[in-house]
Structure 1
Amino acid sequence: MTRGSPAFASDEIASAFAAFPEPERAGLLSLRSLIFETAAKTPAVGRLSEALKWGQPAYLTPETKSGSTIRLGIPKSGGFAIYTHCQTTLLTDFQILFPDDFQYEGNRAIHFCAGDGLPLEKLEILVRNALTYHLKK
């Protein structure tokens, strides 16, 4: 576990992370920590729920319903990724802010190469916007 991350919500989620290859797992755990840390310092989010959706770790805001689901996983092309709901404007809006800083998969994911450093300050903007997406509509 990394700083800011609680224990896994279930054995199934722990197993999902354990099944990710290294160093992709390290990157995904960093993104998991970022999601929990951002939720903790964003009062409107409330309790964050961790579940599996489509076999991938997913983060939801069930009490406040303030956010759109964030998922973490391994794309078919390799590396690792953070996914947002494709029917939101989350990635489109984020790409306007950072057009050349990330490898985007349309309006659904940002891909990362294993072992690369993550620009956590920039990614925190995406995570905060996802966790509060429904408050802005």
Structure 2
Amino acid sequence: MANTTEQVLSIYPAAAQEKIRVLRRLVIRVASEQNFGEVIEAIKWGELSFSVKSGSPFRMAWKAKTPTNFHLYFHCQTKLIDTFRVLFPDDLQFEGNRAIVLKLEEEIPTEVLYRCIAIAMNYKNLKHLPLLGQ
């Protein structure tokens, strides 16, 4: 099994590699600009995983069974996806209570995902608030 970011990405088609790299840079940018501290990157279930001390971990991946999409996965027992559905009903597609579905051929909705990632990175401070304080 792949155990580094580059090993995981090397399994993906070129278009997915490019999109995931853009998304990874966005994660690092959000953490830096919002002062969330160090981003801990790991490989979990063969997927890229990201976490900060104040947040709920999330993962990103491309899967062969849905080759035209890639996903941003959140812990299914959080209020994150439910909140994102209310905040961004027309901007994002969702899979159950665990993922934002993104299309490889579409531009990444950077501004919306910036907000989603920032909320996830601050989840421990927001989880008691209605709509996570949004």
Provide runs of 4+ in structure 1 moved above 6 Å.
none
- Supply the distance in 2 between the matched residues of 1:24 and 1:106 (Cα, whole angstroms): 22
Letter in 1 for 2:46: G
Q: Give the paired residue count.
A: 123
Contact 1:27 1:115 in 2 (8 A): no
2:10 matched to 1:18? yes
1:66, CA displacement in angstroms?
0.4
Q: CA RMSD in A?
A: 1.3
Q: Hey, what's the Cα distance between the residues in 2 that align with 1:93 and 1:74?
A: 23
Indicate which of 105, 112, 119 corresponds to 1:129.
119
1:114-137 per-position Cα deviation (integer Å, ceiling 9, x unaligned): 121011001101000001100123
**Correspondence for 1:92 among 69, 74, 82:** 82
Q: Deviations over 1:78-135 (max 9, x none)?
A: 3111111111111110110111222200111111111210110011010000011001
Taking only the aligned residue pairs, the percentage that are identical comes to 35
Give 2:132's aligned residue.
none
Q: For residue 82 of structure 2, give the secondary structure of its aligned residue in structure 1.
A: helix
Q: What TM-score do you get using the length of structure 1 for normalisation?
A: 0.84
Aligned to 1:50, the other structure's residue is in SS state strand
Residue number among 49, 58, 71 corresponding to 1:58 in the alignment = 49
Gaps of 5+ in 1: 1-10
Give per-residue Cα distances to partners, 1:29-77, cap 9 Å, x unaligned. 111111000000112x21111000101000011xxx2000110102432
For 1:113, which of 79, 97, 103 is the aligned residue?
103
